[in-house]
Structure 1
Amino acid sequence: MRILVTGHLGYLGSEMVPVLRARDHEVIGLDTDFYGSCDFHAVPVDAPMLPLDVRDVTVTDLAALDLDAVIHLAALSNDPLSDLDPQLTYDINLDGSVHLAEVAKQAGVRRFLFSSSCSLYGKGGDAALDENAAFHPVTPYGESKVRVEQALSAMADDTFSPVYLRNATAYGLSRRLRADIVVNNLVAHAATSGKVLLESDGTPWRPLVHVLDIADAFAAVLDAPAEAIHDQAFNVGRSGENYQVREIADIVADVVGDCAVGFGVNASPDIRDYQVDFTKIHRTLTGYRPRWTVRRGVEQLWAAYRHGGMTADMFAGPAYVRLREIQRLRAAGAMGADLRWSAA
């Protein structure tokens, strides 16, 4: 297939492009490259690209590419970044996503894979939630995912087939590393300070999935017959990979060794608390076989941080924390308040 991947230079996209190419897909990227100075152990795989914001893509842009599918990853990527200005989350993650889908449909693109999130379940209670569970988003980021799914579903027809991949909380090594997601963050704390530092009280539940297992899920959806996945949602992750945050911290301490678990000065209960059921994706996509566990991912990160020379200064700097990098670019005048590159 000939596929457009938005956000192909980001944390997930930079690992997804090689996975898709290994399956003989032709990949074109679309990215603003906000995080061009945030490489860790390697640079993203080179791919033809449109240097565009998803808010500015036109029908002409996409029609010229003769695409079979769009994989839409590009978004303001986590809740602290979304909280910078909640309206920007709706402008980019919601309105920008719906705009992209509309122009893709007008350009004749038949498949649209949307990178949604299990965060739309929000505060989910004690039961593991399947795709029919009610939505309880507690952040603009989570609400934007709900509303995009609803808008895409209203667009679905015989000519346009959207699919919603509700990723569990991602972790793992990437060419465009993030240290602001829970597993990566806890390992980075341990690697640079000798302590595992919790930013919550440790009780909330999180479903977790390795970045490469997410990439494999998108590839499996591309391989599936359209009628088997049309206008459907899939929780993306692996059975048995729901953890309380304190459990993750204990795994990190065990892998790193000689490492105390403690609490940050602002540690408090977290209203985001949910477990997720992954039965449907394994039942429907018979070729999907997640390979990673949290322990194996922690071992990967610990080895990478040591080999890559992760220091306390690097961890405290902007490169691997999305909010800090955006703030740095805005302060330098490189980016406007609307998160578009400045003319200069």
Structure 2
Amino acid sequence: MKVLVAGGAGYIGSHCVKQLVAAGHEPVVVDNLVYGHRAAVAPSIRLHDVNLGQPEAIRTVIAAEKPDVVMHFAAYAYVGESVTHPLKYYQNNVAATLHLLEAMLAHGVKKFVFSSTCATYGVPERMPITEDLPQKPINPYGQTKLDVENMLKALAPATGLSFAAFRYFNAAGAAEDGSIGEDHDPESHLIPLAIGAAQGLRPALQVFGNDYPTPDGTCLRDYVHVDDLSRAHIAAFRLLEKPGSQNFFNLGTGTPTSVLKVIRAVEKVSGLKVPHHFAPRRAGDPPALYADAAKAREQLGWTPKFQTIEPIIETAWRWHQAKPKGYQDRK
């Protein structure tokens, strides 16, 4: 199938593009390269430098490419920034998605795969998190993702749009062949920050809180390999054949890993010490967040290839060791 990948030059999107090619599909990328990297997309793959917030431009792309499916990874995803600049997040994450959906429906494209987030749950009532728990986001980023989910729920019966929305936990790792990886500016994810600190390329790592009610006092999170995420998205295509179908899935391993355990794993994989110090807790950080992904296993036949943290970090380490400046090393 021809698959239009919005945000396909970003971290998760570029890995999904690579997995689409491996699965025999034809991806086409739309990315304005604000956070994405042209070098993350193979030269053989068409890339439209278009902002989803420009309705006429995205309509032109949809009309020209005539995709069978659209995958959407083009959100802004910095929680702190969403608190200080909420309009930026509503404009990009909600309004621009509305323009994309309008363009799709205007040209008869009715299959959609959406990158959502576990942030829609806010501080969940229990662990592990199942898809039926109440969604009570505690920041504008999570709220904008939930707003899009609600928009999709309304469109499905009204227009026949079929969709799958994936609520990610912590995406991590890099392509196994080392060709693409994680390169954010600014970087906010724990694993690349820990690796950068070990390499001496970043400051000592701040560990926010060591007095949580967890085995070692640090937060527990669910890290899922970016290629495993991508494979789940592709597996969802068959669920989109029925017009108006609505599908929601958590994506995580279900195995919580503490911040200190991540640091120890980086040290083991790299053979280097990770300089770090403890800092006060951050407001809004729950002690633990991890998924129950049974629904994805049962309905998609999805099982993460990377079940534990060390193999995930091994792929990230190979990428950062080979390209310490990320995609700048390719210029």
| Residue identity (%) | 26
Residue aligning to 2:246: 231
From the superposition, tell whether residues 253 and 160 of structure 1 become closer, same or farther in structure 2 (CA, over 3 Å): same
TM superposition shift of 1:196: 6.4
* 1:120-176, Cα deviation, whole Å (9 max, x unpaired): 122225521111111132221111111110011100036311210111111112345
- Secondary structure at the aligned position of 1:128 is classed as coil
> Which consecutive aligned stretches of 4+ in structure 1 deviate over 4 angstroms post-superposition?
193-196
Residue aligning to 1:163: 164
- Secondary structure at the aligned position of 2:65 is classed as coil
Larger mean Cα displacement after TM superposition, 78-87 or 16-25: 78-87
Q: Quick one: distance in 1 between partners of 2:148 and 2:250? A: 16
* 1:174-224, Cα deviation, whole Å (9 max, x unpaired): 345234312222222222269962341153332221111111111111244
- Note the 1:252-331 alignment, pairs <5 A: 252-257=266-271, 259=273, 262-263=276-277, 266-273=279-286, 274-286=289-301, 288-292=302-306, 293-308=308-323, 310=324, 314=325
TM superposition shift of 1:299: 1.8
Q: What TM-score do the two structures reach when normalised by structure 2? A: 0.83
Residue aligning to 1:54: 52
From the superposition, tell whether residues 81 and 131 of structure 1 become closer, same or farther in structure 2 (CA, over 3 Å): same
- Secondary structure at the aligned position of 1:119 is classed as helix
The answer on whether the counterparts of 1:126 and 1:275 sit within 8 Å (CA) in structure 2 is no
2:196 to 174, 181, 188: 188
Whether 1:245 and 2:259 are equivalent positions in the alignment is yes
- Secondary structure at the aligned position of 1:276 is classed as coil
- Note the 1:1-344 alignment, pairs <5 A: 1-35=1-35, 43-46=40-43, 47-58=45-56, 59-83=59-83, 85-157=85-157, 159-173=160-174, 174-175=180-181, 177-178=183-184, 179-192=187-200, 197-202=205-210, 203-224=218-239, 226-227=241-242, 230-240=245-255, 242-257=256-271, 259=273, 262-263=276-277, 266-273=279-286, 274-286=289-301, 288-292=302-306, 293-308=308-323, 310=324, 314=325
TM superposition shift of 1:34: 1.9
How many aligned positions are there? 308
Q: What TM-score do the two structures reach when normalised by structure 1? A: 0.80
From the superposition, tell whether residues 275 and 228 of structure 1 become closer, same or farther in structure 2 (CA, over 3 Å): farther
Q: Quick one: distance in 1 between partners of 2:52 and 2:42? A: 21
* 1:73-132, Cα deviation, whole Å (9 max, x unpaired): 101132244346221011001111122112212211121111001121222255211111
From the superposition, tell whether residues 132 and 4 of structure 1 become closer, same or farther in structure 2 (CA, over 3 Å): same
The answer on whether the counterparts of 1:196 and 1:259 sit within 8 Å (CA) in structure 2 is no
Q: CA RMSD in A?
A: 2.8
Q: Quick one: distance in 1 between partners of 2:283 and 2:171? A: 18
From the superposition, tell whether residues 48 and 227 of structure 1 become closer, same or farther in structure 2 (CA, over 3 Å): same
The amino acid across from 1:262 in the alignment is: H
Please, which runs of 5 or more residues in structure 2 have no aligned partner? 175-179, 211-217
TM superposition shift of 1:302: 2.3
From the superposition, tell whether residues 307 and 63 of structure 1 become closer, same or farther in structure 2 (CA, over 3 Å): closer
Larger mean Cα displacement after TM superposition, 267-276 or 115-124: 267-276
